[in-house]
Amino acid sequence: MSRLVSVSNRVTVPRRSVTPGGLALGVHAAMQARGGLWFGWSGEVAEREPDAARIVIRDRIAYGTIELTQADHEQYYLGFCNGALWPLFHYFLDAVHYHDEQYHLIPLAQELRALGAQQPVGFFLHIPFPHVEALRALPVYGELMRALIDFDLVAFQTERDLECFRSAVVDLWGPEAIAADGGVVACGRRTCLDHIPIGVDVDAIQAAALAASSSEAVQRMVAGLVGRRCVIGVDRLDYSKGLVERFDAYARFLEEYPENQGRVTFLQIAPLSRTDVRAYAHLRRSLEQAAGRANGKYADTDWTPIRYLNRNYPHQCVLGFMRASQVGLVTPLRDGMNLVAKEFVAAQDPDDPGVLVLSTLAGAARELAGALLVNPKDTRGVARAIQQALQMRLPERRDRHQQMLEVLRRNDIAAWHTRFVERLQATHTPAPSALSTTRVTAKAS
């Protein structure tokens, strides 16, 4: 029997008090379904090179984690990951900072081939892939692309990301490098391409959200609203999420629709992330100022328009918050998928569902046509969508919710990892060797 090896930037070892969310939950589901090894960084920085990986076995999964040295942390994580790839792939070109000593996990397939590995190796990119006109801003974009086509399968969240990847292939190797089946034939290799949107476990989310509704934390949140309606946003504190623009749009909503003043509260949960990256400290200050402006202008003695919380909550608790809210506000400036949007839909009471306001620049917008789609930089348009969501009648809310729920079930988390692994297996029949019983997947950090 073959086994699955997943290599990622960070590895989430389950703990009783913490439930992984987002992409980590998806990888965990894939590993649970097949067993195998999940390997990556522990999140800790050490003074010297680790002697070996730390292995923890839970159920059918072996979690292998290593610490990074300070140099690795600076050149790999703070450097190429957050200084170059993250802003570039999200189209923040002014924020791209590259130095030639930096490196990344993407050359994994090349390194495995050099060691004699013959098993199929796949790569899934959970963030957007930029068009070649933006990708050229990276001095080593040619080397990056060469490393990517060493994988047997490269998969993306959306067809648009896949087409952007092909634009770089054509730029480097010409239109003849695109095979008849849409894959890549270049540098003596054949690479399969696909778009496989990551999903969520709909039934698990529905059950968790319903159970959380009676929890102390959710009951306190509802009691604190004092009968007011709630608009909710849940995001990591990241400049790609459009949080400053979102706060400004909500302030404009209160200005243009003053009947909502004192009647609607915006709850934004934004846990701190990447606190050692300078851009995130600046973002935090900007958000605090935006929230302060809105609250200073519109707050009353018994009402705070924006409740801005920089803390983590258990995943189940957040799902309960979503279920208790009338509007989900998901307005990233660019996002590969955005599972918060899908979780909001799945968490709703189908008899009385809330309405999702969703950025057209999130990959989820390609699937969730029942949402109110907006340009995240259009503050007036976002304000108008919030008003429309709050005024939407029950039959329309139910119809929109049912439509999106059907899509979520069709493209759920099981479908994602099943399609990816089956597609990977179909790309390659390895020759007999000591390594041929292992399938390897990698994902971007």
Asked whether the beta carbons of 385 and 359 are under 8 A apart, the reply is: no
C-alpha span between 329 and 232 (Å, rounded): 6
Among 335, 401, 412, 417, which one carries the catalytic annotation? 335
- Three-state DSSP at 265 gives strand
Strands 61-69, 121-124: pairing is: unpaired
Q: Using alpha carbons only, what angle is made at residue 403 by residues 400 and 409, rounded to the nearest 5 degrees? A: 135
C-alpha span between 443 and 445 (Å, rounded): 7
Among 73, 90, 104, 126, which one carries the catalytic annotation? 126
**Given the structure tokens 């068009």, which residue do they identify?**
131
Query: How many residues are listed for the chain in this entry?
Result: 445
Asked whether the beta carbons of 416 and 363 are under 8 A apart, the reply is: no
User: In sequence order, what are the residues at sequence separation of 6 or more whose Cβ sits closer than 8 angstroms to the Cβ of residue 110?
Assistant: 147, 150
Please, where are the H alpha helices in 39-189?
70-72, 86-89, 108-114, 132-135, 141-148, 159-173
Asked whether the beta carbons of 33 and 65 are under 8 A apart, the reply is: no
Neighbouring C-beta atoms of residue 444, cutoff 10 Å? 20
SS3 content of the chain, % helix, strand, coil (to 5): 45, 20, 35
Which two tokens mark 276? Answer: 């050692």
* Known catalytic membership, residue 100: no
Q: Any bridge partners for residue 15, and if so which?
A: 18
Q: Which residues are catalytic?
A: 126, 335
